[in-house]
A and B are shown apart, each in its own frame.
Chain A
Amino acid sequence: MAEPFLRIAKLVKAFGANQVVKGVDLAFEKGEFVSLLGPSGCGKTTILRMVAGFEQPSSGDIFVQGQSITGLAPNQRQIGMVFQAYALFPNMTVADNIAFGLKIAGMAKPQRLIRVDQMLELIGLSGLGQRFPFELSGGQQQRVALARALAPSPQMLLLDEPLSALDAKIRVSLREQIRAIQRELGITTLFVTHDQEEALSISDRIVVMNGGKVDQFGTPFEIYNRPATRFVASFVGQLNTLNAIVADAAGQRVTIGGASAVIPALPAGVHNGQAIALTMRPEAVGLGASAGRDIALSGTVSEVHFLGSVIRLKVDLGGNAISLDTFNDQRTPPPAYGSPVQIGIAAQDVLVLNA
């Protein structure tokens, strides 16, 4: 089997008695855009900093194309990095910032100037080379930081929450731009974020981290639709949980608030009368009976959130509460607060999660 581009093997990092990364194993292919996703303190930034060389692992190894880089200093790793706080050198112009790594690499001035122009064009800031960082907006500064990181043609790009300091609109446009540039250059990229929407929208694969361990490593589709753990299911996207009782384990039949349903995903090993938790995404639930939604439950509307094109409803099922999304219909107003409704759930979309 071919050696992956970046391989992290049994990586452990402890700060005193506090172990923040607990034996992580990962492998990334060349040209992949991988996001490390997780809540604060899950160890994602520590892994990124160990790949960059700013932190030394307590144990374990990091390989790039089969060669260990664990003992190398950050300036020997040929890695580009973009920081959350931009980290542009305030005393240098945009062009000087971009040329910094090239100068250190010993590139001759004429080639350097050409490369700086290429990078400015790539990030769409041609003509702003002589400005100082303080003369740019946050989004522009982060694009310059990206150009500076990419200018020396690094073998890998690390992005440490580069969009967190920006406002929502710029964040969306910049993440699309980052993804487009990454695709154009084909550079292997490791992106740290705590924003699940960001990770889902631009990644080839996502590493979901929890408490210093990898909970799941997969494509956005897999992570969202087939979460491996309860944590992944609840951290990535919205999740409904319904309490149910196993009525017939062999026939995969359960009862939910008196209603009976067959759950194809019911795991082996459950027994009759056992209380279980069924989970599903809001989009797996619909208003009223419809084809494919074979579990029908009745309840009352307890919350109505009009979000524009989508309306999110919360329905009280007497002991269970469920959120569901429905598209806005200009001719039909959404159900009113307190009104009785019937909901339908597709049994095949129901997940029974491990702890």
Chain B
Amino acid sequence: MKYNRLWAWIVIALGFAYFFVPLLATFIFSLRMRRGELSFDAYASVFSDPRFFASFGYSLVIGVFTIIVGVLVVVPAVYYVRLRLPWLRPIMEFITLLPLVIPALVLVYGYIRLYNSSSILPLTGSVLGTDILLICACVTLALPYLYRAVDTGMSTIDIRTLTEAAQILGASQWVIISRVVFPNIMVAVLSGAFLTLAIVIGEFTIASLLNRPAFGPYLVGVGTNRAYEPSALAIISLLVTWGAMGMIQLLARFAPKTARKD
């Protein structure tokens, strides 16, 4: 028994080292900007760059719109598939996994080809149109995560009976989704939303090829010209992502409790 536990601890320690040693190395490297001593100069340099805030702010706005569009598409879709079209679930699973299989590069070239300035819907012909295209692309990229988060959330409650209970009390479909279903899967939706935000903040390929001033292209741009700032930015990005994950954990505490059976 003790022998088994020792091996378990060794495996955990190796996994921990595999994850944290590079992070620690990156962090220490980001502090070495000043010759001969450790300092936060690289971080100061990053924060003094107005393009940092501009690109981060832009990605944040795109992220918020991505979440709104994603939730509006995914929540009703999952709800109706679970309630009325359960046979469609395997197909939905497959479709929502496609963004993990199809490279973002293929997706964005498809978009550019379909929505270029000489097409029927010339979205790339204007800044707003391109932003809309970027949001749509980000919704697609976040689909595997958002769909699963919402689907898992809905599996924890008896969606059919709750719907019928609300329906017989006179509720319309809109009231059922907004006041019965949505509040009960809020935590799952927020989990999906924070995952989406983390994806959008780090997204490079699509934003770069659509020529939008997002945080991802900024990160890569800084990485090609500077030495210490990219490491500082990597740590900042990581902290943002961890912050988002921490929010998921925090919000999970407010999940509606399931009924006690006795």
Contacts and interface: CB of A to CB of B under 8 A. Distances in A.
Nearest to A141: B259
A87 B257 contact: no
A53 B262 CA distance: 30
> What 4 A-B pairs have minimum CB-CB distances, sorted nearest first?
A101-B169, A134-B257, A87-B165, A90-B256
Given A91-B183, A91-B184, A104-B175, A86 B168 contact: no
B259 A134 contact: yes
A167 B262 contact: yes
Contact of B168 (A52, A132, A134, A137): A52
A81 B157 CA distance: 19
Interface in B116-174: 157-158, 161-162, 164-172
A136 interface: yes
Nearest to A158: B168
Main SS class of interface, B: loop
Interface extent on A, as a size class? 35 or more
Interface stretch (A72-80, A187-195, A205-213, A324-332): A72-80
Interface string B58-102: 000000000000000000000000000000000000000000000
Contacts of A89: 162, 165-166, 180, 184
Contacts of B162: 87, 89
Contacts of B172: 75
Given A85-B161, A91-B184, A138 B262 contact: yes
Residue from A75, A85, A86, A149 whose CB has the most chain B CB atoms within 10 Å: A75
Most B-side CB within 10 Å, residue of A104, A137, A149:
A104
A129 B81 CA distance: 34
Contact of A100 (B158, B166, B261): B166
A138 B260 CA distance: 7
B225 interface: no
B258 interface: yes
Interface of A: 52-54, 73-75, 77, 79-81, 83, 85-91, 100-101, 104-105, 132-138, 141, 145, 148-149, 152, 158, 165, 167
14 contacts: A75-B169, A77-B168, A80-B169, A81-B165, A83-B165, A87-B158, A89-B184, A90-B184, A91-B256, A101-B170, A104-B169, A137-B260, A138-B261, A149-B168
A135 B256 CA distance: 12
A139 B51 CA distance: 61
Interface of B: 157-158, 161-162, 164-172, 175, 180, 183-184, 256-262
A158 B260 CA distance: 24
Nearest to A133: B259
Given A54-B164, A85-B158, A85-B161, A90 B169 contact: no
Given A134-B260, A138-B262, A141-B259, A87 B164 contact: yes
B171 A104 contact: yes
Nearest to A148: B169
Contact of B259 (A53, A79, A90): A90
Contact of B167 (A74, A105, A133, A136): A74
Chain A CB within 10 A, most for which of B165, B168, B180: B168
B183 to A, nearest CB: 4
A145 B166 CA distance: 11
A81 B168 contact: yes
Contacts of A132: 256-257
Given A137-B262, A138-B262, A105 B161 contact: no
A56 to B, nearest CB: 13
Contacts of A133: 259
